[in-house]
Structure 1
Amino acid sequence: MRRIIPVALSIAGFDPDSGAGVVADIRTFNSLGVYGVAVVTVVTAQNTYRGYAIQPLDPGIVVAQLRALREDIGFDAVKVGMVYTRELVEVISRELSDFEGPIVVDPLMKAKSGVELISEDALDALKNKLLHIATLVTPNKFEAEVLAETSIQTIEDAKRAAAIISREYGVEAVLVKGGHLKPCCIDILYFRGRYYEFWGKPSRGCYHGTGCILSSAITALLAKGYELVEAVKKAKKHVEYAIRYGPPIGRGWCPADPLAPLEIDAERYRVLTDIVEAVKMLEHASHLVSKYVPEVGMQVAMSLPARYASSPSDVAAIPGRIRADGCRLIYRLPPEFGVSSHLARAILTAMEFQPDIRAAINIAYSPEIIRAAEKLGYIVSYYDRREEPPELKRVEGATIPWGIRRAVERAGGKVPDIVYHLGDVGKEPMIVVFARSASEAASKLLRILWSIYG
């Protein structure tokens, strides 16, 4: 009977900064809808820029961990990472020799922090025993050079090395990771006599643990029943997300984040839900709010967290904006991402100064709103469109970022609660209410209106 949820096993070392090893593997399994279990082989003392110590576990406890899992939960696919000693390689190879599912071996030899991840005698055992039971081996350029005993400088070199590794060690599939190849970012898969090329683009981001994430993502997808070539393709895309959205922490190589796709989906839901709540709040006081709907319409917008926000497509708002019909607020569609331009750019600019200020509402300018906001203690600032440099006026979309920066400067470097401008030729005077969330922006606006109308 097929499991309700597939299970993948990581046999690897422990990295205390969670960027690599079993922690990164489990996070990757979970991010792809696979339940992760782990056998720890080695405990390391390292961080993002330096390695301090390595303590291999006794082979007996490693075997005990593995057998405990096999007799109870079981697993559908295995990823083997850091093994370090010959004794560990031998017992793991023996214990997995009768496993009928896919086994992915990531032949780790050296960490980005400089830590040596395998001893010399263990490398011989890896070549002669562990690789012979592997379904797929995933060496980087340098590891592939060691295994194939050949120099790799070009794509053709990588292809030749992959074929050598497959032939010499009886591995059905070899994926040579090409992050260090020229041209950059091509992975070469040799599988059943055929070559497959997986191209990527160089990108800024976090790279600690990317090898672990790639091999564990492939393992997870194989556990779910994907064919190997498709699993590699999807896993590479998963790693690209992890690199792009890795948290910029530590003094060295910051860790990639395999949970980023899940986190982004969750944040998108939270943003959309919060905008809906904010609009409901405004509708409940529509007899007040409708007085201040601009001729161009009112907008309620909110961005993804700063870590995930880089353009207006990462900001959600109401399609077509909100209009006033007498004392009613009307709009046609629920919030979507990428439908705001002006307010989205205002929010993204504010986030440059305070990343937690992620939302805004625009209303028509009114002196009474400004006076009431100041009386309530809100920080109020402004920009004058007449001061905008001519060269910026000629650039589409440059006015609002310039204006918000000017208002922040006038407020002493802090994002104001209220930013206004008095318009220009063909430009309606406007007020923007900033806040940490759309519902908080709505609360600020309603508080101001209630202070005016009681």
Structure 2
Amino acid sequence: MRKTARPSVLTVAGSDSGGGAGIQADLKTFQAHAVHGTCAITAVTSQNTRAVTAVHSLPPAHICSQIAAVRDDFAIAAWKTGMLADARTIRAVATGMQGHEGHYVLDPVMISTSGAALLQSSAISALRRYLLPRASLITPNLPEAAALSGLPVRRNSDLDRIARLLLEEGAQAVLIKGGHQRGRQVVDRLYWGNDKREFVHERLARNGHGTGCTLAAAIVSNLALGLDLAQACSRATDYVHAALLKAYRPGRSTIDVLEHSAVVAPIRRRTTVR
């Protein structure tokens, strides 16, 4: 039987014992996109759909050794970071990925769905110094965009200012996620160079867990498969919307976990691009 080559991708993130976000969501997304997923775990969390009860950060040397083992055997076409917890973890990741020239998507995970802090406030400057300038794309939600930039978000024009600031600091592109805004539609805004594009979806009555992780992992998969940035983001936002449509509730809280089994193709009927 002839084997079909698949591009390899890497996620550097925390483990979610509840199975809805983090490494677990990333690997599900990679599998759904038919890319080969590898991982380096930065932290082990004790969490479910109701709360994060403990976080154990792995030693920087072990994070580096995981990355080295992956890079020694696989040609990584694209990679992403999720939960990085603290400055020493950020520096370890930057060291481990030194010299890699493929696509890099930075998902600045700061707060869990249940409200637990997943990135120390003192680590934001390290994130901006060591990883932001390397990013092909950074994917903050509204609170993360405000925290990274130090600017408030009161109106849409504030998002334009924040995006320009992050671009000036070295990111090649910025996708500000609109899930925290009010309204009947969710608008994700992509900025790169002097261009801007919006991806618009109907807002669903879901309390989704792992949407940010899934979005970044889907973008990484699409970039590894050869799509350009705008196409990768468009298909990824479609993917998250479709996964939310099929979301289910495995725990005892009101948190919905995304369904990854049959939602690879974009749902163009439900999506408009401005």
Report the TM-score, using the length of structure 2 for normalisation: 0.91
* Paired position in structure 1 for 2:37: 36
For 1:424-435, list aligned pairs within 5 A: none
- The equivalent of 1:422 in structure 2 is none
Secondary structure in 2 matching 1:234: helix
Give the Å deviation of 1:153. 2.6
User: Alpha-carbon deviation of 1:204?
Assistant: 2.3
Instruction: Provide the C-alpha distance between the structure 2 equivalents of 1:194 and 1:258, rounded to a whole number of angstroms.
Output: 31
Question: In 2 relative to 1, CA 254–182 (structure 1 residues): closer, same or farther, beyond 3 Å?
Answer: closer
Code of the aligned partner of 1:103: Y
Give the drift of 1:211.
0.5
**How far did 1:135 drift?**
0.8
- The correspondence of residues 105-144 of structure 1 with structure 2, limited to 5 A, is 105-144=106-145
The answer to whether the 8 Å contact 2:124/2:148 transfers is no
Alignment partner, residue 176 of structure 2:
176
Q: 1:259: Cα distance to partner?
A: 2.6
| Displacement after TM superposition at 1:156 (Å) | 2.1
So what's the TM-score if we normalise by structure 1?
0.56
Larger radius of gyration: 1
Partner of 2:220: 219
Aligned partners of 1:23 and 1:175: how far apart in 2?
22
Give the equivalent residue in structure 1 for 2:11: 10
One-letter amino acid matched to 1:225: G
The 2-side partners of 1:160 and 1:26 are apart by 34
Superposed, 1:19-418 pairs within 5 Å as 19-167=20-168, 169-183=169-183, 184-250=185-251, 251-261=253-263
Aligned length: 259
**Larger strand proportion of the pair:** 2
The alignment's C-alpha RMSD in Å is 1.3
Distance in 1 separating the partners of 2:165 and 2:182: 20
- Is the 1:15–1:22 contact (alpha carbons within 8 Å) kept by the matching residues of 2? yes
**Aligned partners of 2:91 and 2:37: how far apart in 1?**
23
AA of the residue aligned to 1:261: V
1:154–1:182 Cα contact (<8 Å) kept: no
Q: Distance in 2 between matches of 1:37 and 1:13?
A: 13
**Aligned mates of 1:234, 1:261 — CA distance in 2:** 11
Q: Deviations over 1:336-376 (max 9, x none)?
A: xxxxxxxxxxxxxxxxxxxxxxxxxxxxxxxxxxxxxxxxx
- For 2:36 and 2:196, the matched residues in 1 are separated by 31
Percentage of identical aligned residues: 34
Q: Which runs of 5+ in 2 are unaligned?
A: 265-274
Say whether the 8 Å CA contact 1:6–1:224 is kept in structure 2.
yes
Q: How much does 1:206 deviate? A: 4.7
Moved over 4 A (4+): none
Offset at 1:258? 2.5
Cα distance in structure 1, aligned partners of 2:94 and 2:117: 21
Shift of 1:93: 1.0
Contact 1:8 1:35 in 2 (8 A): yes
Higher helix share: 1
In the alignment, the residues of structure 2 paired with residue 202 and residue 161 of structure 1 have an alpha-carbon distance, to the nearest angstrom, of: 24
3-state SS of the aligned residue for 1:200? strand
